[in-house]
Structure 1
Amino acid sequence: GIPVTRIAQEESQRLLHMEDALHKRVIGQHEAIDTISKAVRRARAGLKDPKRPIGSFIFLGPTGVGKTELAKALAEFMFGSEDSLIKIDMSEFMERHNVSRLVGAPPGYVGFEEGGQLTEAVRRKSYSVVLLDEIEKAHPEVFNILLQILEDGHLTDAKGRRVDFRNTVIIMTSNVGAKSLLKDTSLGFKPVNTDLSQETQAQYERMKDKVLEQLKTQFRPEFLNRVDSFVVFRSLSVEEIRHIVELLLQRVRNQLKTQEIGLEVTAEAKDHLIKLGYDVDYGARPLRRVIQNLVEDPLAEALLLGTFTAGQTVIVDRSGDTGLSIEPLAEKTPVEA
């Protein structure tokens, strides 16, 4: 019984504040999120080519800066759930004989009944975000398939069924140019620098030009010509790493909340986690490992030993020069009125 106009208005408001919603999950990367948001708004407003997908993007930049995370956040924002993300790892299609698995094996071959890995997933879930991870590893034949999807918005599978890609967002990630970025220390992780002004912007533009130049040598012109946007991700600053630590710790808090246990982490403990997990070459991923080793593993052991019980709050603090201490928060004695 909800009026259609109200749904349309709510959808319009959501789209106008799309950047804010995506920034809740993806730290930094303003240019990337702006580009994606504009493409989605254009499509929803009816201004896109009706034959083509909602948008097609190549995400570029260093490893561990949020390329895959943005694809997941977009799937959740647009279609309500991360389950609407169809992720295909292109390292599985490095050899020519594997390429047919995308559209299905031809009649008479093993696997004909199963359908294609890409076509079957999109046929069952036509409103989705298709993530083709590490596209540079794919065999050149894969790009012939992608040309048709990007230009015509459909693909015919091995059974002759036409699969519609017009309601999908195609995202391809690539680490092309990442190695050359690491050689240039000014383009990697930077020390604490709150001034994100002209110098930082100039560094980003240099990095962008370098990556796009390598992209042109790696992929064929007719493929690049059909992609809507090339989105180059920035390296993460220390301040952004601090936000990511908070996001990762919030996940631990949510998991402990199901057992009715609270979690507090002191500023000193967070600084220690950042110091250990802040890596020039690997982006934010080492942080996850550091939090797993220093916070989650001791917590798991303590929970199994029964050290913490429901209703308690656990405090994580800096302990000595080397590690962290995890102890129950001392309960305050209630003051009678």
Structure 2
Amino acid sequence: MSNLLSTPYLDRYTVNLTKKIAQNPDNYRAYEREPVTNRVLVSLLKKIQNSPLLVGEAGVGKTAIVEDLARQLLASNDKLLANKSIIQISLANLMQTSDGESFAYKFQQILNELMANKDTMIAFIDEIHQIVGTGADNQGSALDAGNIIKPALSRDDLQIIGATTTKEFHQYIAQDGALMRRFDLVEVPELSFNQTANILKKVSSQLGGEITVSQEVQDQIMTLSQRYITDRFFPEKAIMLLDGAISQAKLNQRLAVTTEDVADIIHADYHVPKYVINQTTDERLANLSQRIKERIIGQDHPLDKLTMKIINREAGLTDSSKPASFLFLGPTGVGKTETAKQLGILLFGEETNFIRFDMSEFKFASSSFERFKDKLTTEVRHTPYAVLLLDEIEKADPEVMDLLLQVLDDGRLTDAYGRVVNFKDLIIIMTTNSGAKAIQNHHAKSDYIKNDQKRQENFEEQLEIALQGDGYRPEFLARIGAMIIFDVLTLADIEKIVALKLKTLDEKAREQGFHIIFEPSEVLQYLPSFEYGYEYVEGQKVVSSSIAKYIADVGYRPSRGVRPIDDTIDVYIGDPVAQAIIAKRAGQLEDFNAFIFRALGNPPSLTSPYGEWQTVISRTKEGNYEVI
């Protein structure tokens, strides 16, 4: 390079990539990229259109290919390429105006120096789409970097290697046909799983130094990066995860990376629950139907349908690029919202993986769309593995429904900052009270009619027509994975639900050192005659019933479902227990640690629809009890 001409602007505003790489060539190898590198070399040796433009997704290794090319040129035997240097131009550096010179002037000087040294220099512009518009002034001048560079490229006075993403190529370069024709397009595809695994083996010792990265850990990095890092591409996402796990091991002062280190990075950076990372899909789905039925009473058939749809998806039998979606239909208060909540806990491990939107908040056209989109993308970006509940979906503005249509179709949305938010790992559940009357009427029919397949299909068709009458567009309904029709609850179902709620209340009471006794099997340990349905009060034999049966009868309202039950439990159980606990703490009651609940008197009957019963509470300790 003895004939090198003066290059003051190149010296000031660019980086000689070749000199940098010459200091440690082995650190700049692009593994598994030989075909692309050879394609670039072919392009550089062409007589015309000899400026290659690398186009590929972010993270596939475009810059690494150019660095590897610079390394190869250091030892090239080709007389046209030997000893050529690759000079990296940063457009951002040229935009600085503190030197008193305009961007256009500095950029033109750099091109002049490159053209004067064309036999020894090849320019490299990363993010080359930025040349479109960069440097143009506010008065509408077309003198941007793209227009400055076109004449030099058309005359083959210099060679430039460019790199850009597929999206930005189409958005900027391809829109300028004259500019695009100056380049020789070189596609850079994403590396395969196996190619990336091979790279990981080669770079793990380079990145780790004294830190050991076992084959087991490398395999986990490959599996987890493929499964959970969906916004990046191989090989970058695997290498970034490897680098992060090595850093985590160093922080923990260990000489080997563990699978826990890898899981910590995935959990912290990509908001994946540890519960999901540490368990296989089969473990999370094991007995899912049975477990959710233990928490949701009276909905066995709809829960079976729901869980089988989820199992089919996890088995790979449905389109995994879109979120699983369901429309829950049924009267109010039958367990639709609670089912969504419990599903989130069972599948993802924590209640934080249940996201609920009250869609009545987004019913006004003037403000709903942007507010809903912003809130939705923010929530999902931070909790991408969750059950997303859109409660009372019919109350939302039609524009909001159109946005949901896009989510169900594409499995992604772009937020206000241009970031793509992935929805494909969500389970989206929408609830509606539309068609509730038809469901109640259907429930009132005989079991023979309800179990007839043809009649059931006809009922579902009529229900869909009713939904369309309430404003649901056919194309929206068509995108929903399945409609789950919840049953009307029976009084026996309500009694079981009350028992579940009383069990939860008892757990809270135990935290305060007290115990609520309500289960018949436990009550009869203190009142043996309870097994036979009576007890003696002041020498009189009186009918006794479980407190759950009493509360179910008093608290259940078919028009409101189980929602009034909580208030009824507070009135008959929570309030007296709370008063007794406070009094006990104040030393105003004798020593005791348990409450026995039941109902005394005749329950409702055909001749007495309200019955003549009332709640009774006793207190006890060590087997002794007295009425309080």
Calculate the TM-score normalised by the size of structure 1.
0.83
Structure 2 CA distance for partners of 1:128 and 1:308, relative to 1, 3 Å: farther
Corresponding residue to 1:243 among 496, 499, 505: 496
Give the match's secondary structure for 2:341. Answer: helix
Structure 2 CA distance for partners of 1:223 and 1:312, relative to 1, 3 Å: same
Structure 2 CA distance for partners of 1:118 and 1:278, relative to 1, 3 Å: same
In the alignment, the residues of structure 1 paired with residue 309 and residue 561 of structure 2 have an alpha-carbon distance, to the nearest angstrom, of 27
Q: Post-superposition shift, 1:286?
A: 1.9
Assess if the C-alpha contact under 8 Å between 2:592 and 2:619 holds in 1.
Answer: no
Corresponding residue to 1:35 among 305, 319, 325: 305
Assess if the C-alpha contact under 8 Å between 1:178 and 1:211 holds in 2.
Answer: no
Give the corresponding residue for 1:211: 463
Corresponding residue to 2:557 among 279, 291, 295: 279
Give the corresponding residue for 2:614: 323
Amino acid at match of 1:31: H
1:225 counterpart = 2:478: yes
Give me the CA root mean square deviation: 2.8
Assess if the C-alpha contact under 8 Å between 2:516 and 2:595 holds in 1.
Answer: yes
Structure 2 CA distance for partners of 1:161 and 1:209, relative to 1, 3 Å: same
Give the match's secondary structure for 2:546. Answer: helix
Assess if the C-alpha contact under 8 Å between 2:491 and 2:553 holds in 1.
Answer: no
Structure 2 CA distance for partners of 1:262 and 1:8, relative to 1, 3 Å: closer
1:136-175 matches, cutoff 5 A = 136-175=394-433
Assess if the C-alpha contact under 8 Å between 1:260 and 1:311 holds in 2.
Answer: no
Give the match's secondary structure for 1:146. Answer: helix
1:312 counterpart = 2:603: no
Structure 2 segments unaligned to the other structure (5+ residues)? 1-257, 264-276, 521-544, 602-611
Q: Post-superposition shift, 1:200?
A: 5.0
In the alignment, the residues of structure 1 paired with residue 259 and residue 510 of structure 2 have an alpha-carbon distance, to the nearest angstrom, of 34
Amino acid at match of 1:305: A
Give the match's secondary structure for 1:163. Answer: strand
More deviation, 217-226/83-92: 217-226
In the alignment, the residues of structure 2 paired with residue 197 and residue 147 of structure 1 have an alpha-carbon distance, to the nearest angstrom, of 37
Amino acid at match of 2:562: A
Q: Post-superposition shift, 1:212?
A: 2.8
Amino acid at match of 1:325: V
Q: Post-superposition shift, 1:207?
A: 6.1
Assess if the C-alpha contact under 8 Å between 1:71 and 1:171 holds in 2.
Answer: yes
Q: Post-superposition shift, 1:330?
A: 5.7
Give the corresponding residue for 1:291: 569
Corresponding residue to 1:74 among 323, 343, 363: 343
Amino acid at match of 1:253: D
In the alignment, the residues of structure 2 paired with residue 332 and residue 30 of structure 1 have an alpha-carbon distance, to the nearest angstrom, of 39
Q: Rg: which structure is higher?
A: 2
Calculate the TM-score normalised by the size of structure 2.
0.46
- How many corresponding residue pairs? 310
Give the match's secondary structure for 1:126. Answer: coil
Give the corresponding residue for 2:357: 88
Assess if the C-alpha contact under 8 Å between 1:60 and 1:211 holds in 2.
Answer: no
In the alignment, the residues of structure 2 paired with residue 70 and residue 148 of structure 1 have an alpha-carbon distance, to the nearest angstrom, of 25
For 1:311-335, what per-residue CA distance to the aligned partner results, in whole angstroms no more than 9, with x for missing partners?
61211122554531222126437xx
Assess if the C-alpha contact under 8 Å between 2:593 and 2:621 holds in 1.
Answer: no
In the alignment, the residues of structure 1 paired with residue 583 and residue 352 of structure 2 have an alpha-carbon distance, to the nearest angstrom, of 35
For 1:177-216, what per-residue CA distance to the aligned partner results, in whole angstroms no more than 9, with x for missing partners?
224556x4x746x9xxxxx943554699476555333112
Share of identical aligned residues, percent? 35
Structure 1 segments unaligned to the other structure (5+ residues)? 104-115, 191-195
In the alignment, the residues of structure 2 paired with residue 78 and residue 187 of structure 1 have an alpha-carbon distance, to the nearest angstrom, of 30
More deviation, 35-44/324-333: 324-333
Give the corresponding residue for 1:19: 289
Give the corresponding residue for 1:110: none
Amino acid at match of 1:304: I
Amino acid at match of 1:154: R
Give the corresponding residue for 2:389: 131
Give the match's secondary structure for 2:548. Answer: helix
